Structure 1
Amino acid sequence: MLIWHRWFGLGASLWLLLLALTGSAITFYDELDTWLNPDLRTTGQSTPGAAIPVERAIGQAQRVLPGFQPWMIDLPNAPGQTLWMLGRQDAGGHLRSIQLFADPADGRVLGWREQGRPALDRRHLMDVLYGLHVDLMLGPVATWLFGLVSLLWLLDHVAAALLSVPRLGAWRDAFRLAGRPRSGRRRLDRHRAPGMWLLLPTFALSLTGVTLAWPEASRDAVRLLSPVSERLDHSLPEVAGATRAIDADRAIALARERMPGARVDSLRILPHVGAYAVRTFDARDVDDQGRLWTYLAMDDGRVLGQRHDRGSSGGDLFFVWQYALHSGKGFGLAGRIVVFIAGLATALLCVTGVWLWWRRRRAAAPGRASGLAEAPTPS
């Protein structure tokens, strides 16, 4: 276990450091992005629950960006927030992902930015940090690599805990900073104690890192123990050349008629199955996202199905909590603060672990004076 922990730390510390620092930053993605881009993210005119001209906003977006096709529209959840569209623009055969922001009062376009653009200006900084955290902005191969790092990190939690507490009777020592300042024991404790203080949050981050990076493989594994259901649009038949006879505003109105008083979170446009997916908030939600999906046909507005992410099985319950735990949003602001601190602590563990290894390697080098060698201590 000592050999495993040492070589895992040396091999994965750079990746974990990147994941930890970017993860801590995007824990407060909306707040930081709003601070950097108040002209895109805020307006003094919006009122949640009022009729928002979504279709007018789509039309104005397409006039500003010819060839733009939104696939997700996030409605404001609080006064002062803007309408946020995610979509793609076909600019002369060149497809690019777009984030567009509109005034929910009249659909007026406030601005837009290209998603995934590698720029560190205020418009793109938070988007770049998010992309680095998910896949290094390189695509599925990097996402798979991060899933592997998360899986090995998950296994390393077991090794680290057993190395830190070799005897149950001395478990308190693993949480203390002992030894003289600048001594080998103090350096060890600076590495060991923070890891033990935040062992449960970082264990949760490593587990959810696996399930979010490897969703299909994770679902296949959980299905060995409990059924896991999928979103309904995955089972709807493909529709060639679907037209939006029912517009977005009508789809939202029909969803509200089915659930009087329900607050709409977002709308997805799914032309490949000829449907809208309206997400509404529900008492079963585990975070700040509406988890009740209502699917309506684009041609006549009929309800194709309805499903809450909570589902009806233990497997569904497990997966609905994955993002809520990874982001900390399942426990509100307190949960996000814990995730933020756990990310910083993980970065600290990467640095102190490599520093410990380097100090001991230097102390063990042949020809060094015996008085400079440090006594070996558990890692």
Structure 2
Amino acid sequence: MTSVAVHPDTEPATPSPRGTSRRYRAVWRWHFYAGLIVAPVLLVLAITGSIYLFKEPFEEWRYQDVRTLAAPVAGAIPLSDQIDAARRARPGTDVMSVIPPAAPDRSTRVIMSGTETGPFAQGVSVYVDPGTGRVLGQIDDSATFMRVVRTVHGELLAGTAGDRIVETAACWALILAATGTYLWWRGPARRRAPRTGRARLRRVHALTGAGAGVVIVFLILSGLPWSGFWGDGLQRVQEKTGSTSPSADSFPNTSTPPALSGDLSQHPDAKVPWSAERLPVPPSGTDPAGGHAGHTATGGVLQQGAITVEQALAAARPVLRGCRPGDCDLKVLLPGGREGVYTVVAEPRRDPAGSRTVHVDQYNGRVLVSYGWPEYGVLAKTVEQGIAIHEGRRFGPANLVVMLGACLALVTLTVTGVWMWWKRRPAGRVGAPARAADRRTTFGVLAIMAVLGLLFPLAGLTMLVALAADGLLLRRVPRLRRAFG
């Protein structure tokens, strides 16, 4: 339960043995400081997360003028011509990827590079009428409302530093959940009927945490793979344990061209599955027309002798039979350089078990690699399913409602926690719970916290900082000792 607790002088004593009471105070103090530190970040995460759950319906409504055609298209012009139309609309700009229309009344989306650079860089989506090749409009994906919400949710608009803050707050939320569960189980909120307004507030806080705690913990754990530090460590664990996406050793080609899809593999709108981002990409063979001389790959201009986008899609479709229009999005990443390949990604909207990634030789159309759910390791499957549920799309509307409820519960926990502290705090003091007098009790609680700190290193690091501040400052500086208790 994510809360900041009330002051010990006004909290009813828990009817427990003396040793348990000391342990209760020690746990309470950690719960208090954890809530006080991360409450603002958790509130931001809960609000932005609840908004981002509605990304797809919101953007379908917001950009319907460029995504939906007035009438279905009877016959589409070649995708290559549509890409050329998008390139003319943004001359001198690289083509990043292409999303063919999923239905006759949908436009083609050509994603071109924008002003951002680096991993997760957003491009500019140029929407093209597949029947006429007319450009319907351009959307800067880095400036959309949902993109801003996502950036706030993931990094607080502060880049790497913001990512680390969000990850630290998420890890501390797990500590809040563990300590809050103990406080609810051993404390008065579970045993006594509330008689005052403050007691009712405490009961709302406790019951909300007890009722939604499991889902909130799932939200946190399923979101951590996106984090920069812990998520990177998880991918390394996957690689070392062989429980990741398909092993590159299973395929005949394991070399890694410099333009592996590069930033494309991490592009939010045109990416390969999360657990497959680090897979080596096989190189295309020798140009059958004679060597690799000719055009460069910049701007999406194909090499001399390369097959068209349509031919690459046709070569990939036999292994994409499970990707049904309406339930699955097809994305085509163009070759990058002379050895680059066409990468066709089938991304189901609900069940990630239907995902598949296909690499096609840009010269002869041969499928170099085709891998999907059966080749994923157990840990990779768990992460992919967790992400789908986290985003509220795995089980349709019911999944979305549960995730929204968890976000609203987190808002309730944060607000009621801060409210309880504000109502009960003594004038001029923070009003932290008193330290446990028995060091053995403190050491027991610290041992449990140490285990959590090892599992979540950023939380562990901040624990050490908190302990150092408590021992070197709060206990030694009289003014701080009086203020914090």
TM-score bracket, shorter-length normalisation: 0.7 to 0.9
Shift of 1:52: 7.4
Q: 2:259 aligned with 1:234, yes or no?
A: no
Structure 1's 270 and 183: CA in aligned 2 closer, same or farther, altered over 3 A? farther
Match of 2:107 in 1: 82
Q: 2:61 aligned with 1:35, yes or no?
A: yes
Match of 2:343 in 1: 277
Give the conservation status (yes or no) of the 8 Å contact 2:342–2:361. yes
One-letter amino acid of the structure 1 residue matched with residue 208 of structure 2: P
Q: 2:209 aligned with 1:195, yes or no?
A: yes
Q: Deviations over 1:121-177 (max 9, x none)?
A: xxx32222122222234433322332222222223222222222228xx9xx75x99
Take 2:41 and 2:374, find their aligned partners in 1: how far apart are those partners?
Answer: 32
The equivalences for 1:74-223 within 5 A come to: 74-77=99-102, 80-89=105-114, 97-117=123-143, 124-166=144-186, 174=190, 178-180=193-195, 183-214=197-228, 215-222=231-238
Secondary structure in structure 2 of the residue aligned to 1:99: strand
The equivalences for 1:5-84 within 5 A come to: 5-46=31-72, 53-77=78-102, 80-84=105-109
Give the conservation status (yes or no) of the 8 Å contact 1:194–1:349. yes
In the alignment, which of 382, 390, 404 is matched to residue 318 of structure 1? 382
Q: Deviations over 1:250-289 (max 9, x none)?
A: 111111144557446222234155012112367xx86379
Match of 1:303 in 2: 367
Give the conservation status (yes or no) of the 8 Å contact 2:98–2:109. yes
Structure 1's 14 and 103: CA in aligned 2 closer, same or farther, altered over 3 A? farther
One-letter amino acid of the structure 2 residue matched with residue 21 of structure 1: I
Take 1:154 and 1:79, find their aligned partners in 2: how far apart are those partners?
Answer: 47
Secondary structure in structure 2 of the residue aligned to 1:66: coil
Structure 1's 43 and 315: CA in aligned 2 closer, same or farther, altered over 3 A? same
Structure 1's 64 and 158: CA in aligned 2 closer, same or farther, altered over 3 A? same
Structure 1's 351 and 69: CA in aligned 2 closer, same or farther, altered over 3 A? same
Q: Deviations over 1:327-361 (max 9, x none)?
A: 02122221112112211221222111111111111
Give the conservation status (yes or no) of the 8 Å contact 2:358–2:369. yes
Give the conservation status (yes or no) of the 8 Å contact 2:208–2:413. yes
Take 1:177 and 1:268, find their aligned partners in 2: how far apart are those partners?
Answer: 61
Give the conservation status (yes or no) of the 8 Å contact 1:212–1:323. no
Structure 1's 90 and 332: CA in aligned 2 closer, same or farther, altered over 3 A? closer
Indicate the structure with greater strand content.
1
Q: How high is the TM-score relative to the length of structure 2?
A: 0.63
Take 1:304 and 1:54, find their aligned partners in 2: how far apart are those partners?
Answer: 22
Take 2:279 and 2:186, find their aligned partners in 1: how far apart are those partners?
Answer: 48
Q: Which moved more, 1:16-25 or 1:224-233?
A: 224-233
Shift of 1:113: 2.3
Match of 2:331 in 1: 266
Take 1:286 and 1:79, find their aligned partners in 2: how far apart are those partners?
Answer: 22
Q: Which moved more, 1:6-15 or 1:273-282?
A: 273-282
One-letter amino acid of the structure 1 residue matched with residue 211 of structure 2: W
Take 1:276 and 1:8, find their aligned partners in 2: how far apart are those partners?
Answer: 48
Structure 1's 148 and 56: CA in aligned 2 closer, same or farther, altered over 3 A? farther
Give the conservation status (yes or no) of the 8 Å contact 1:67–1:90. no
Structure 1's 316 and 250: CA in aligned 2 closer, same or farther, altered over 3 A? same
Gaps of 5+ in 2: 1-26, 246-274, 285-291, 431-485
Gaps of 5+ in 1: 118-123, 367-379
Secondary structure in structure 2 of the residue aligned to 1:165: helix
Give the conservation status (yes or no) of the 8 Å contact 1:232–1:305. no
In the alignment, which of 4, 9, 29 is matched to residue 3 of structure 1? 29
Shift of 1:237: 5.6
Structure 1's 16 and 338: CA in aligned 2 closer, same or farther, altered over 3 A? same
Alignment size in residue pairs: 348
Take 1:247 and 1:177, find their aligned partners in 2: how far apart are those partners?
Answer: 72
Match of 2:260 in 1: none
Structure 1's 164 and 103: CA in aligned 2 closer, same or farther, altered over 3 A? farther
Larger RCO of the pair (alpha carbons < 8 Å, separation 6+): 2
